[in-house]
């Protein structure tokens, strides 16, 4: 896939796992807890931060990444979070070929990060996060942007204009942490990496929707990471 990020590596990889965080446009470390979580992530995993271009006007990516002992960071030219995370994964996997697990962090929230080593010991083959089938309300929200159609009519339409509007979203997740073994990530990249229609359709959705919709349901353990 064409990469839309510029990657800056600050130090060599040290762990078998890598945490990827796509920072929101208005990101800020808002509490001591956030700061501690970032510290813990960099202690237990190789921390990799993705800065949307607009955020670089408020935060210096290099200073911030160095402060939290990150392995590296990327500046994203795309606002599509899922695309930027896939780009980051592709780079990290291809250039380092070292990480067995990727922990994608949606939002900093309390989580027993010190348990990660124990989880890695389980040699997981499947991704770990909880997901749910997109329900009627979500579908209505996604497919009913144009009022003259009901969501169901719109879903069934074959017109090109409607072809690429969130049609691939069938699952979602409310989790903040997604543990994805490298083989699962590679499969996703292989399957969807060159499918721009698919990836573009998630432009207005978080990585949660992308990952939940992209992983086959049987590949999910359907467990929250902190419940293992």
Cβ proximity to another protein, 3 vs 221, nearer residue: 3
- Going by C-alpha positions, the residue among 129, 143, 98, 85 that lies closest to residue 228 is 129
> Per rule CB under 8 A, is residue 155 in the interface with another protein?
no
> Per rule CB under 8 A, is residue 3 in the interface with another protein?
yes
> Per rule CB under 8 A, is residue 128 in the interface with another protein?
no
* CB-based contacts of 43, cutoff 8 Å, min separation 6: 69
> Per rule CB under 8 A, is residue 8 in the interface with another protein?
yes
> Per rule CB under 8 A, is residue 53 in the interface with another protein?
no
- Of residues 89 through 118, those in contact with another protein by CB under 8 A are 90-91, 94-95
- Going by C-alpha positions, the residue among 31, 34, 5, 11 that lies closest to residue 176 is 34
- Going by C-alpha positions, the residue among 118, 117, 122, 86 that lies closest to residue 104 is 86
Report in angstroms how near the CB of residue 41 gets to another protein at its nearest. 21
Report in angstroms how near the CB of residue 77 gets to another protein at its nearest. 10
> Per rule CB under 8 A, is residue 74 in the interface with another protein?
yes
- Going by C-alpha positions, the residue among 73, 104, 98 that lies closest to residue 5 is 73
Give the range of 88-96, 178-186, 211-219, 220-228 binding another protein by CB under 8 A: 88-96
- Going by C-alpha positions, the residue among 24, 14, 17 that lies closest to residue 128 is 17
The rounded distance, in Å, linking the Cα atoms of 90 and 172 is 23
Cβ proximity to another protein, 13 vs 138, nearer residue: 13
For residues 5 and 75, the answer to whether their CB atoms sit within 8 Å is: yes
Give the range of 2-10, 44-52, 114-122, 209-217 binding another protein by CB under 8 A: 2-10
List interacting residues with another protein (CB under 8 A).
3, 5-9, 72, 74-75, 90-91, 94-95
């Amino acid at each position: 896939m064409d990469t839309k990020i510029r990657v800056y590596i600050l130090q060599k990889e040290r762990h078998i796992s890598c945490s990827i965080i796509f920072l929101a446009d208005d990101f800020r470390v808002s509490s001591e807890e956030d700061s501690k979580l970032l510290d813990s992530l960099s202690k237990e995993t190789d921390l990799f931060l993705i800065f949307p271009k607009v955020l670089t006007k408020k935060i210096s990516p290099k200073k911030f990444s160095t402060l939290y002992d990150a392995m590296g960071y990327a500046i994203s030219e795309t606002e599509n979070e899922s695309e930027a995370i896939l780009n980051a994964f592709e780079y990290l996997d291809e250039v380092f070929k070292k990480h067995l697990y990727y922990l994608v962090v949606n939002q900093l929230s309390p989580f027993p990060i010190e348990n990660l080593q124990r989880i890695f010991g389980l040699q997981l083959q499947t991704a770990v996060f909880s997901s749910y089938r997109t329900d009627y309300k979500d579908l209505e929200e996604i497919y009913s942007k144009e009022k003259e159609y009901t969501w169901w009519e719109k879903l069934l339409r074959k017109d090109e204009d409607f072809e690429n509007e969130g049609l691939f979203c069938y699952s979602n997740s409310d989790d903040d942490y997604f543990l994805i073994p490298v083989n699962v990530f590679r499969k996703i990249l292989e399957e969807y990496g060159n499918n721009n229609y698919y990836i573009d359709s998630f432009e207005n959705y978080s990585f949660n929707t992308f990952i939940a919709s992209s992983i086959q349901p049987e590949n999910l353990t359907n467990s929250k990471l902190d419940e293992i």
